[in-house]
Structure 1
Amino acid sequence: MQCLNNLLLNTDSYKASHWLQYPPGTDATFFYVESRGGVYDRTVFFGLQAILKEYLGKPISHADIDEARDLYAAHGEPFNEAGWRYIVDHHGGLLPLRIRAVPEGTVVPTHQALVTIESTDPQAYWVPSYVETLLLRLWYPVTVATISWHAKQTIRQFLERTSDDPEGQLPFKLHDFGARGVSSAESAALGGVAHLVNFMGTDTVAGLLAARAYYHEAMAGYSIPAAEHSTITSWGREHEVDAYRNMLRQFAKPGAIVAVVSDSYDIFHAIREHWGQTLREEVIASGATVVIRPDSGDPVDVVHQCLSLLDEAFGHTVNGKGYKVLNHVRVIQGDGINPTSIRAILERATSYGYATDNLAFGMGGALLQRLDRDTQKFALKCSAARVNGEWIDVYKDPVTDKGKASKRGRMTLLRHREYGHFKTVPVPAEAATLEDLARPAGYDDAMVTVWENGRLLCDWRFDEVRALANAARL
């Protein structure tokens, strides 16, 4: 939406008045981002680079200031016109900020600082607060990457138990079906690319574009030809088998994979009669793998029944771990999929002797939309301010909710080089820079400076992000 391109208006209304609210003598502020808990006990850090490149890399202009001044005047808020014009005149319109963060793809326990934001010009000490609204939206790609990563750990566990090739199978076991269920194209892009940190299957094209634009990845994910209900039901119920035969003739080549939704009328009849009898020899002769997609009913029961019926029709081999792998066919379940149902489906299939190789999942709303900032309790808070030349702790500690108590002072994140433990540690008030911090034995900096005064200092490639996330285990 072109009307949203002014950085000065990418904030909350009350932020426009905050430069007047700090104590006299304030000339620097320090903020941090953390997950204060939530559904999962660790998060996959991802998405800050995309936000920085998209929004902070473009200088603001006097025309932007004119637009913001006029809007806030009509809106009823004061506006720091002189402060913003100073930034244009003295910094070329680039915000005087220093942003430090853990490398993207790092899996970090909750309650640790993930990002710090600090002002770098005494005349612009108020800028970190102004961009809180924008920067805290990184909760979204972090949370999507986190949900996807935890689902990956579940699937990995079952593959390691039942498959001869768990690492080869894993990247394509959870497919992103979420593009149509999100609130915006930007959500599809950020959420879609966040999922691709963990998997390589997607139908969310916007995620591919985000990986290319922000993380140097020419092609981050893959898909296959697949039927939807309209391309099956347009043949009419009496010609359902012809719709399936058309899918085979169009796409079923040796080594190919084609997915066919088969529950338009009766999934069990479709498998027994159409796939298991009428088209059985055509499926085998094609040399392709045909993936049957049920899309209704109880996922655990329906998937189990589909596996059993396909087994009756096409048979199976037994792999090296003693589990059944279907011949020529597979099942993908994309309805009702979430981290809980994935585990339940795999538990049922495994208990009946079927390898996880037989199954893939498509996840839509539960992956990209059924989440909010409180899923992982994300917060961006001020923790320190320099007033009259001295750093003071800034914090809140509400008696009504100790879970919202914030961290105090300047800080950084350390990681134990041998054990991998993370520790958020304070930077002494007298320390001029982080280089003055005495680190505990065995610990190294877990954060790096990624952005300073409009310049990107760390430009992560997508393969680097994926490698970090994949190396972590529950």
Structure 2
Amino acid sequence: MEHRDSDFNILLATDSYKYSSPSFYLLITSRVCSVSAGKVVTPEKIQEAKEVYREHFQDDVFNEKGWTYILEKYNGHLPIEIKAVPEGSVIPRGNVLFTVESTDPECYWLTNWVEGARWARLGSIRLCTITAWGKDHEKDAFEHIIKQFPNVPVSIVSDSYDIYNACEKIWGEDLRSLIEARSANAPLVVRPDSGDPLDTVLKVLEILGKKFQPVENSKGFKVLPPYIRVIQGDGVDINTLQEIVEGMKQHKWSIENISFGSGGALLQKLTRDLLNCSFKCSYVVTNGLGVNVFKDPVADPNKRSKKGRLSLHRTPSGDFVTLEEGKGDLEEFGVDLLHTVFQNGKIVKTYTFDEVRDNAQLVESEIEVVH
């Protein structure tokens, strides 16, 4: 049967981990997909997604109210605005390539949906990332999530600022009683997401082992209580996986304490990390107040993300510069080079192949000569 865009259900276009993705404004590095244009939400697709997510998660996590709102108010068109650099532009790494912003405060959760990211809930259906709570309220974010999902396993990225403090102080002390009350069928799964994989896993296990008394299994290896586990996804490939498992064995930690996740590293390992590309929440509006949001893991300074509203400019010398925290509004370096390409369900800017070629041209001064 010939595939039609109308058959594609964008409500299901994400994976389990990336379901329910929040916030107002993000810097992202993926391309706009044509399947996001037009009427992409219908009653049939809402019902299909509701049934699939209920079966998959064994819990009612689907944001039916939010998608129904989009269907009724916008006739199924996505109320978001995407700004991007001209297609084909050669931009030095470390700069914003494009941004996504909700055009309706009721659809704050939709911005991350177009790519998928960390999932958490605030209030009834209100969503946001851990970093949107701010560093001083990381414990509150953790507590809210585990209370929202008491009967299913819940994996929480815990390295937004300091993974070791999160394990020792927040999980191991502040929220310890809540964790201990969970069942083996609904464990907290602590997720580190930066640093050297082996060193990080071993240190996390060591800290958790001091806070949550492990038992020794029949083989003589330590096992954390069934209500708490660890998952390592960052930097996992066939080699690091073996290193982590061997390291755990040497330190007498059972493999049943941990799960692993891996994406592009399972294939050719040409991933976004080669150029330090990422999709991060950088700005939210809470009760009418704008808040600059960023991630700053203690184990990996290179993963510190940009914060606030972002814009791309040329300096007087011709270099590209990304301005953070809305400083581009001052027009210190002229107009923003990010142009609106998608708005409220419509692709408003396209480029011909000749235009892409022209945009990709480099002048001699921009070509680095390696001897």
Q: CA deviation at 1:53?
A: 1.9
Equivalent-residue separation in structure 1 for 2:318 and 2:326 (angstroms) = 24
Give the aligned partner of residue 337 of structure 2: 446
Q: CA deviation at 1:448?
A: 0.7
Equivalent-residue separation in structure 1 for 2:3 and 2:63 (angstroms) = 24
- 1:127 partnered with 2:110: yes
Give the aligned partner of residue 30 of structure 1: 25
Structure 1 residue identity aligned to 2:51:
D
Equivalent-residue separation in structure 1 for 2:21 and 2:362 (angstroms) = 42
Q: Deviations over 1:363-414 (max 9, x none)?
A: xxxxx96622223232000001000101001111010111111111111111
Q: Deviations over 1:73-97 (max 9, x none)?
A: 0011500001101101111111111
Q: Deviations over 1:190-222 (max 9, x none)?
A: xxxxxxxxxxxxxxxxxxxxxxxxxxxxxxxxx
SS in 2 for 1:111: coil
14, 34, 48: which is aligned to 1:67? 48
- 1:377 partnered with 2:276: yes
84, 87, 90: which is aligned to 2:70? 87
Task: Tell me if the contact between 1:98 and 1:453 (Cα under 8 Å) persists in the aligned partners.
Answer: yes
- In the TM superposition, what are the counterparts of 1:115-264 in structure 2 within 5 Å? 115-133=98-116
* Alignment length (residue pairs): 211
Structure 2 residue identity aligned to 1:8:
L
346, 349, 364: which is aligned to 1:455? 346
Structure 2 residue identity aligned to 1:88:
L
Structure 1 residue identity aligned to 2:278:
A
72, 76, 81: which is aligned to 1:98? 81
> Cα 1:373–1:420, aligned 2, differ >3 Å: closer, same or farther?
same
Q: Deviations over 1:130-173 (max 9, x none)?
A: 12249xxxxxxxxxxxxxxxxxxxxxxxxxxxxxxxxxxxxxxx
Task: Tell me if the contact between 2:40 and 2:76 (Cα under 8 Å) persists in the aligned partners.
Answer: yes
Query: Which entry has the higher C-alpha Rg, 1 or 2?
Result: 1
Equivalent-residue separation in structure 2 for 1:426 and 1:456 (angstroms) = 26
Q: Deviations over 1:30-72 (max 9, x none)?
A: 10025xxxxxxxxxxxx82xx4324434522111111100000
- 1:389 partnered with 2:288: yes
Equivalent-residue separation in structure 1 for 2:84 and 2:362 (angstroms) = 19
> Cα 1:64–1:386, aligned 2, differ >3 Å: closer, same or farther?
same
Q: CA deviation at 1:444?
A: 3.1
Equivalent-residue separation in structure 2 for 1:17 and 1:451 (angstroms) = 22
Task: Tell me if the contact between 2:24 and 2:283 (Cα under 8 Å) persists in the aligned partners.
Answer: yes
Task: Tell me if the contact between 1:16 and 1:80 (Cα under 8 Å) persists in the aligned partners.
Answer: no
TM (norm. structure 1) is 0.41
Equivalent-residue separation in structure 2 for 1:63 and 1:106 (angstroms) = 39
SS in 2 for 1:379: coil
Task: Tell me if the contact between 1:32 and 1:115 (Cα under 8 Å) persists in the aligned partners.
Answer: yes
- 1:469 partnered with 2:360: yes
Q: CA deviation at 1:452?
A: 0.8
Gapped regions of structure 1 (runs ≥ 5): 20-27, 35-46, 135-367
> Cα 1:67–1:109, aligned 2, differ >3 Å: closer, same or farther?
same
SS in 2 for 1:419: coil
Equivalent-residue separation in structure 2 for 1:471 and 1:96 (angstroms) = 36
- 1:52 partnered with 2:39: no
Task: Tell me if the contact between 2:26 and 2:99 (Cα under 8 Å) persists in the aligned partners.
Answer: yes
Give the aligned partner of residue 423 of structure 1: 321
Q: CA deviation at 1:427?
A: 4.5
The runs of 4+ residues in structure 1 deviating greater than 6 Å are none
SS in 1 for 2:97: strand
Equivalent-residue separation in structure 2 for 1:390 and 1:114 (angstroms) = 26
Equivalent-residue separation in structure 1 for 2:71 and 2:9 (angstroms) = 14
Task: Tell me if the contact between 1:101 and 1:450 (Cα under 8 Å) persists in the aligned partners.
Answer: yes
Equivalent-residue separation in structure 2 for 1:91 and 1:13 (angstroms) = 27
Gapped regions of structure 2 (runs ≥ 5): 118-266
Equivalent-residue separation in structure 2 for 1:404 and 1:471 (angstroms) = 29
Equivalent-residue separation in structure 2 for 1:119 and 1:9 (angstroms) = 20
Percent sequence identity over matched residues? 39
Task: Tell me if the contact between 2:282 and 2:294 (Cα under 8 Å) persists in the aligned partners.
Answer: yes
Q: CA deviation at 1:438?
A: 1.2
Structure 2 residue identity aligned to 1:461:
T
Task: Tell me if the contact between 1:29 and 1:125 (Cα under 8 Å) persists in the aligned partners.
Answer: yes
Equivalent-residue separation in structure 2 for 1:458 and 1:409 (angstroms) = 25
Structure 1 residue identity aligned to 2:25:
F
SS in 2 for 1:67: helix
Equivalent-residue separation in structure 2 for 1:373 and 1:392 (angstroms) = 27
